[in-house]
Amino acid sequence: MTATPRPTDDALPPLDPADWEAFRALAHRMVDDSIDFLRDVRERPAWQPMPDAVRDRILHEPLPRTGQGDVSSYEDFLHLVRPYPNGNIHPRFWGWVMGTGTPQSAMADFLASVLNPNVGGLEQAPKYVEQVVVRWLAEAMGYPSGAGGILMSGGTMANVIGLAVARRRRAGFDVRASGGHGAGEPRLTLYASTEVHGWLAKACDFLGLGTEAFRRVPVGDDFRVDVDAMARMIAEDRAAGQHPCCIIGTAGTVQTGATDDFDALADLAAREGCWFHVDGAFGAMAALSPETSPTVRGIARADSIAFDLHKWGYLPFGVAALLTRSDADLVDTFAMQAAYLAAEPRGTFGSEGIYFASRGIELTRRFSALKVWMTLKASGLDLLGAHIARNVRQATYLDALVQAAPDLESLAPTPLNLVNFRYAPAGVAADRLDALNREILLRLQERGIAVPSGTTIHGRYAIRVAITNHRSTAADFDALLAGVRAIGAELTTPSS
Ligand SMILES: Cc1ncc(COP(=O)(O)O)c(C=O)c1O
């Protein structure tokens, strides 16, 4: 018998640190640098353009066949990457809808990576951490016990998965077996306002429902869905042989922060036998404060709610929640079986096996729940709610300044944390205002004064301020308007 040769790869340099003390020194330096970086965030511009040379160095670097070492790659991060993020951790960043994160939750993300568990399920504390986080979030939204939920990477994913659950539960045929359309079944149709976020069209496409399945319901002057119009569209579709299966309401629309009338939508869904899903990407967070919770009255009547924790939950990116009124909804939609994944009564695979992988699409899952758990335990839900309420008061303040100013114009109501306005001083022709305000916005960003974003409302270009930022103070909004006016004056004063 020949001896089995023994592999000799133990001579390789390890991927773990070769020198743990040198690594400790580097890791401590990274932490110290990061703490300074976060502490001093206000001293830096809200955003700065990347020099071409830096972009070229990143983009054109050849595949590193041989490593440059931990210290040198960290130094490249410090010089090439760290100075040029999109800026959302800055107190005067209010573009699109982004969150800021906190230093403590960044450390929780680090700890999650140190532990690096697979939270597809298994018998382990991280699974129970996610379970309790889901229970806390469900309670915060007013859901009864027995609700289900799962964390995922963002609001788009949570909404898409919510829609998959809606389709499974209301299609009236076995979607899992027969796909998007049952043989001879009527077409499934869904209803949401014209203000719904772009995830819905993507989801209809992705889930094989087809974008034509999505019926766009008009909104009123307050940008809330016209529920009577929705009811009429459902009746017409039903009369035409379609199968209305899901109604989608929004808590905090992306353009103006409008929130639909959830009680009216829940009543309509109940009458029509439709699933009722709420996209609460940022607006659902209003439920966390008694000051703002009336905005989302009725949200707990939804069959499913999707919301981000990385926007108005102020956590680092990569975490959102999908909740369902009943845990069985998730299990029925996603439970999977495989010989190599069979649950065991004992041992690492525990009695519930792939608990979370049976409630969503991913098998291997990151421990995103840790930053939610540690933040809620450390700060408490009420403090998060208080920051959310403060952001709403800041929006109300900015809106009031705009309303009172003869050289500024409000372009939409401000029911939550979003303000849309433009610079419109006397003497500037109306047809110049779009280009003028776009240029003001770009200069605000390029000079690092502040980062709002832009949009078009009723055909008029708006500077759009979405406040999901726990670092902003009232003075930051004064600085924004001062910047708008200074740049506006530059652009409208004839050069001598
Ligand atoms: C109302 C609304 N829904 C969904 C989303 C998508 O969320 P995410 O960017 O986390 O995928 C957003 C993002 O801004 C949003 O504002």
213-252 residue pLDDT tens: 999 999 999 999 999 999 999 999 999 999 999 999 999 9
> Average pLDDT for residues 36-62, to the nearest whole number?
98
Res 366: pLDDT = 98
The answer to whether 133 and 151 are in contact (CB under 8 A) is yes
- pLDDT tier, 129 (very low <50, low <70, confident <90, very high otherwise): very high
Q: Tell which atom from ligand 1 comes closest to the C-alpha of 279.
A: 3
* Gap from CA of 465 to ligand 1 centroid (Å): 15
Q: Tell which atom from ligand 1 comes closest to the C-alpha of 253.
A: 1
- pLDDT tens digits along 132-189: 999 999 999 999 999 999 999 999 999 999 999 999 999 999 989 888 777 788 999 9
Which ranges in the chain are annotated with CATH 3.40.640.10?
A: 117-379
Res 12: pLDDT = 86
Res 249: pLDDT = 98
Contact partners, residue 293, CB within 8 Å, separation at least 6? 286, 287
Please name which of 480, 434, 436 lies closest in space to residue 456, comparing C-alpha atoms. Answer: 434
Which ranges in the chain are annotated with CATH 3.90.1150.170?
A: 38-102+380-496
Q: Give yes or no for residue 48 having a pLDDT over 90.
A: yes
Res 5: pLDDT = 83
* Gap from CA of 96 to ligand 1 centroid (Å): 9
Res 94: pLDDT = 98
- pLDDT tier, 77 (very low <50, low <70, confident <90, very high otherwise): very high
Is the CATH number of domain 38-102+380-496 3.90.1150.170? yes
For 18, 242, 269, 398, 465, the CA distances from 420, given in Å and listed in that order, are 55, 38, 32, 10, 6
Contact partners, residue 284, CB within 8 Å, separation at least 6? 141, 251, 252, 278, 296, 299, 305, 306, 307
Res 315: pLDDT = 98
Q: Are strands 275-279 and 243-250 parallel, antiparallel or unpaired?
A: parallel
**3-class secondary-structure state, position 32:** helix
Mutate to test the pocket of ligand 1, among 93, 255, 308 (most ligand atoms within 8 A of CB): 308
Please name which of 340, 360, 370, 295 lies closest in space to residue 127, comparing C-alpha atoms. Answer: 370
Angle made by CA atoms 128, 286, 381, in degrees to the nearest 5? 40
- The alpha carbon of residue 450 and the mean position of all alpha carbons in its chain are separated, in whole angstroms, by 21
Q: Give yes or no for residue 496 having a pLDDT over 70.
A: no
Res 65: pLDDT = 97
Q: Give yes or no for residue 32 having a pLDDT over 80.
A: yes
Q: Which residue type, as a one-letter code, is found at position 324?
A: T
Res 90: pLDDT = 98
> Average pLDDT for residues 334-350, to the nearest whole number?
89
The answer to whether 212 and 236 are in contact (CB under 8 A) is no
Please name which of 134, 61, 190 lies closest in space to residue 356, comparing C-alpha atoms. Answer: 134
CATH assignment, 117-379: 3.40.640.10
- The alpha carbon of residue 103 and the mean position of all alpha carbons in its chain are separated, in whole angstroms, by 19
> Which residues surround ligand 1 with Cβ inside 6 Å?
97, 154-156, 159, 197, 199, 250, 252-254, 279, 281-282, 308, 320
Res 352: pLDDT = 85
